[in-house]
Structure 1
Amino acid sequence: MSHSIMSIILSMICLVVALPQIVVFSGSATFFNPGLDTCGATNTAADLIVKLSTPRYGTGENCFKDVVVFANGASVTVSVVGECPGCGLNDIDLSPGAFARLADLSEGRINVQWGFADS
């Protein structure tokens, strides 16, 4: 079994065991340069934050909700700060600090599983 398949399987097992109440979405993650975001907060690259696709962001009802993101056998909890109009339905845009917890920034885009912590 390849290393990447094993990492995905282990991530999914951790997700099921540790957080069975989360509805899981699969998509890709990129990162952005934070500043003043759609939810009205000003953030830095070190903050653990995320922007959601327009349909997942909605009309702002998800602002400041916690999201747990899994990739490469690691996880990070981030707070929703805005909308990512260019993202696909289940894609997310992380701060550099959050992305770096999951992969090297040089990767630019990674496959992730994610869900709202309180769902």
Structure 2
Amino acid sequence: MSVFFAATLFAVSVSTAPTHAVLSGTASFFAPSLGACGLTSTSTDLIVAVAAQVFDTFPGADPANPNLNPICGKRITAHSNGKTVKATIVDRCVACMGPDDLDFSPAAFSVLASVDLGRVPVTWVLA
């Protein structure tokens, strides 16, 4: 049953992300640089990388040119530990294990939790 639920949740996240479905995953952080969307970001920018499964299958995505992916530049609102951050999607997270996991810049992650934690549960919506 949990495999069916996970598969269903992934289908919802990919096909209905623009309708503000609430997704649940794990948040981590990374050292930003040039991202899959073709933008260079820094650790102080409020940015996020979405799981490769979401990035690659987002409606209108062209695997030949990730810079033109329609998910690039969209904003998410994420919640963890009773805190909220808004971040801009600029990258594809290949290290994300689950389809709804997120990888934040240190600045964005630190709004949600101490970077000493490394990973925290997160819920999020595509804004």
Both structures adopt the same fold (TM-score exceeding 0.5): yes
* Count of aligned residue pairs for this structure pair: 97
Q: Deviation of residue 52 (structure 1)? A: 0.6
Matched residues, percent identical?
A: 39
Deviations 1:32-85 (A, max 9, x none): 001111101111101000001112112322001000000011100000001011
Show the counterpart of 2:121.
111
Greater share of helix residues, 1 or 2?
2
Show the counterpart of 1:74.
83
Q: Deviation of residue 22 (structure 1)? A: 2.6
Q: Distance in 2 between matches of 1:31 and 1:115?
A: 18
5+ unaligned residues in a row in structure 1: which ranges?
A: 1-20
TM-score of the aligned structures, taking structure 2 as reference length: 0.74
5+ unaligned residues in a row in structure 2: which ranges?
A: 1-18, 62-68
Quick one: which amino acid aligns to residue 42 of structure 1?
A: T
**1:61 is matched with which residue: 70, 91, 94?**
70
TM-score of the aligned structures, taking structure 1 as reference length: 0.78
Quick one: which amino acid aligns to residue 66 of structure 1?
A: R
